[in-house]
Amino acid sequence: MEKKKLVMVGNGMAGIRTIEELLKLSREAYEITIFGNEPHPNYNRIMLSTVLQGDKSIEDIIMNDWVWYKNNGIKLYVGEGIVKIDKENKQVISSAGRVAEYDELIIATGSSSFILPVPGADKKGVVGFRDIYDCEMMIKDSYEYKKAVVIGGGLLGLEAARGLLNLGMEVDVVHLMPYLMERQLDATASEMLRKELETQGMNFLLEKQTAEILGDERVTGLRFADGSEVAADLVVMAVGIRPNVQLAKDSGIYVNRGIVVNDYMETDIPNIYAVGECAEHREIVYGLVAPLYEQGKVLAANLAGVETAPYEGTICGTQLKVSGCDLFSAGEIGDDPGTKSIKVHNEFDGVYKKIVIRDNRIAGIVLYGDTKDSNRLFRMLTKKEDVSGMTSVSILEAGGCGGGDTSDVAAMADDELVCGCNGVSKGTIVEAIRTNELTTVDEVGACTNAGRSCGRCKSLISDILANTIGDQYDTSSKKAAICGCTAMSRDEVVAEIKAKGLTNVREVMNVLGWKQEEGCSKCRPAINYYLGMIHFDGYKDERDSRLVNEKMHANIQKDGTYSVVPRMYGGVTTAADLKKIAEVAEKYDVPLVKLTGGQRIGLFGVKNEDLPAMWEELGMPSGYAYGKTLRTVKTCVGAKFCRYGTQDSMGLGIELEKKFERLDTPHKVKMGVSACPRNCAESGIKDIGFVGVDGGWEIYVGGNGGTDLRAADLLMTVKTGEEAIEITGAYLQYYRETAAYLERTAPWLERLGLEHIKAVLEDAKTRNELNARLDKTLERYIEPWQEAIEKVEIKDKYYQTRKVTVE
């Protein structure tokens, strides 16, 4: 039977989920073509804030990589939007002039940031926060500018503000209402949130209405309706979204606020459907991912000719995590004469709970600081359970009066929601585990979609696995598959490499039965790392298996240029090196020279073909600002110059950096060395930090300055710099040998436990063995910039001008 032609306009989360569901139901029914405006495959828009905040890369948030489209026979045209729908001839025409015929057409164009219609909104430096491009613009501007204003005190605005703080900017959050996140929180919870965020460095301007954006070509500030002003180099609009409906409107499809659809996601034009944030169902346009995925499931069944229940709308329960503050919100937030509320306000522990009761049924939920009962309460809300026979304590906590453990998944009902983003219940997960013999969190995600959006339910999925399959599930190890190409976990892959003596990436994939012959962007770098960690004596690194920045030994920028950040040991430089940097920057017309947060000087906007020549003229080693390795060792001036310094921080910092530079690690590693407890080098939030005290050094580990801010833990105190380096070497090697690829030291430390790591490092024999393997590993590294200068084949392969076209 000849396949029908299905064309989808849009390549985002809702649309691709529809295609995934369709492939499950009727894989051979359609020849599928997808057009996307952005130059990327489908990525997780929910995780954009983690990219802005520096915790994840673009590659980390890709949900369906290029290989997925190829393996499913899907034609994907990226960077190519649709400009016209010819309904009579059933054709679409792209911005590149491409004509595609369709039998069925899905419009999944999503939404755009709502830009306030105020004078000056079109100035440079005014951006939304909706896609990868917006993130890249903010990151780029942070190199040059320091004062940002975020308009909008909702979830998106607060996430943007946290990211800009992480980028080193001063941030004001402007909000029209008297308190933050008024759609999700009541005044009490909002005030607790505001106080917490103020301690993190955010400044709030509440009850302020923006009247004008000031400046000539570029923004310089905002003027409010009350006449007051605030300075700004960057303005981020996070005041809401606007459905992208212009294409539908121009094509004569019925549009209200969104593209109007019925309960089967059909528009008023036969064979044309709409799904996601561009669609309006029963006068509601949804902006959360869970209802959009429900829509996608109904549409997929409709297209596959499978009988399905209609989409009747969604009650949205939202599990939010704003800058380390756990929130849950659902239903009614405020009080009225027809409601009664149960409230718990524990200011000391930072916990607030409010349950709104109407007609003996839960009508609304607000949880701040403690959200462990959110799934159970949300089930009671959606099922309209009668609570008249329950006490307030038993409503608030499962088991009531301490009679039960709310973390015990065995007590969860089968219909209790586990993954709110994708609408997956405990019963669905348990059935999938038993039917398909699933043993990892990733396998559960691939089968049910649970945990594939925001990822915050993965720990609960892990608990359900442990409860369902018992001893077969080892919760002490990282059991998640390393990627979708295999069901094998990190530990299983490492064990097989050792047992079978596997020596290269392709051999690993072939011998271990990879589903995709070429692997993917997640597993190839991971396998390359594990091989180098295991075969530490002489492994030949497979450069083409690395992520693009490591392969090029320079950070690629949004416009295709690169950054050059030379090594400055301990943040210390010389007049001669500064002069060389200045001369190179002038000669190659470098558009931006920027001091980095790691006490380095970065040259940004460098052409690919200029990299080797610039490296040669600089005559300095790579600073590895792009690598999964030791990035920097930040230091204060120390006892040599500072009145308060008790130790030589610069000396130790330089020695550490020279010792461990170029060492491959599972993720980036940052160090800080402070000469006294005043901690000027921020040693308390580094992967490894050193603080000078009378008579020695305190060593701190597991710190993180990103979204999930984590203070480092005191590992031990040593007397000399030599001891500090010995402990650091053993610690790093143990991290290298036991962490999963792309696992930062903070979650690794929490997973293994500080006391366990202390016990490992306290054993002198173990320390010596770890350091011996690390020293042998360090012998194999060569300076990458110098190698590119000296080897013509490397220069020709990686550093020549070339044009890349993606279709």
pLDDT of 46 strictly over 90: no
Secondary structure (3-state) at 415: coil
Mean pLDDT on 390-396: 88
Specify whether the CB–CB gap between 299 and 264 falls below 8 A.
Answer: yes
- The 10s digit of each residue's pLDDT in 615-638 is 999 999 999 998 999 999 999 999
Specify whether the CB–CB gap between 220 and 55 falls below 8 A.
Answer: no
According to DSSP, the residues that pair with 664 across neighbouring strands are: 629
Buried b (16+ CB within 10 A) or exposed e, 695-717: ebbbbbbbbbbbbeebebbebbe
pLDDT of 807 strictly over 60: no
Q: Which two tokens stand for residue 390?
A: 């329950």
Q: How far is it, in rounded angstroms, from Cα 752 to Cα 739? A: 9
Secondary structure (3-state) at 439: coil
pLDDT of 719 strictly over 60: yes
Q: How far is it, in rounded angstroms, from Cα 402 to Cα 414? A: 22
Mean pLDDT on 184-203: 92
Q: What is the DSSP string of 128-176?
A: -SSSHHHHHHHHHHHHH--EEEEE--SHHHHHHHHHHHHTT-EEEEEES
Confidence of residue 476 (pLDDT cuts 50, 70, 90): very low
Q: What is the pLDDT of residue 439?
A: 81
Q: What is the DSSP string of 525-540?
A: HHHHHHHHHHSTTT--
Q: How many CB atoms lie within 10 A of CB 95?
A: 14
Q: Which three-class secondary structure string do you get for 586-625?
A: HHCCCCEEEECCCCCEEEEEECHHHHHHHHHHHCCCECCC
Question: How much of the chain, in percent, has pLDDT values that exceed 90?
Answer: 66
Question: How much of the chain, in percent, has pLDDT values that exceed 70?
Answer: 95
Give the H or E element holding residue 732: helix 721-738
- The 10s digit of each residue's pLDDT in 232-251 is 999 999 999 999 999 999 99
pLDDT of 323 strictly over 70: no
Instruction: Choose among 17, 65, 58: nearest CA to 41.
Output: 65
- At residue 361, φ and ψ (nearest 5 deg) are -135, 145
- The 10s digit of each residue's pLDDT in 747-780 is 999 999 999 999 999 999 999 999 999 999 999 8
Confidence of residue 593 (pLDDT cuts 50, 70, 90): very high
Question: Which residues are within 8 A (CB) of 93 and not within 5 positions of it... i.e. 6 or more apart?
Answer: 82, 83, 84, 86, 99
Specify whether the CB–CB gap between 621 and 785 falls below 8 A.
Answer: yes
- The 10s digit of each residue's pLDDT in 200-221 is 889 999 999 999 999 999 999 9
Q: How far is it, in rounded angstroms, from Cα 702 to Cα 688? A: 7
Q: How far is it, in rounded angstroms, from Cα 340 to Cα 320? A: 25
Mean pLDDT on 47-63: 82
Q: What is the pLDDT of residue 571?
A: 94
Specify whether the CB–CB gap between 267 and 233 falls below 8 A.
Answer: no
Q: What is the pTM of this model?
A: 0.63
pLDDT of 138 strictly over 60: yes
Question: What angle, rounded to 10 degrees, do the helices at 575-587 and 611-618 form?
Answer: 150
pLDDT of 805 strictly over 50: no
Q: What is the pLDDT of residue 472?
A: 67
Mean pLDDT on 181-206: 92
In total, the chain counts a number of residues equal to: 807
Q: What is the pLDDT of residue 784?
A: 93
Instruction: Choose among 239, 213, 217: nearest CA to 115.
Output: 239
Instruction: Choose among 587, 555, 546, 615: nearest CA to 783.
Output: 615
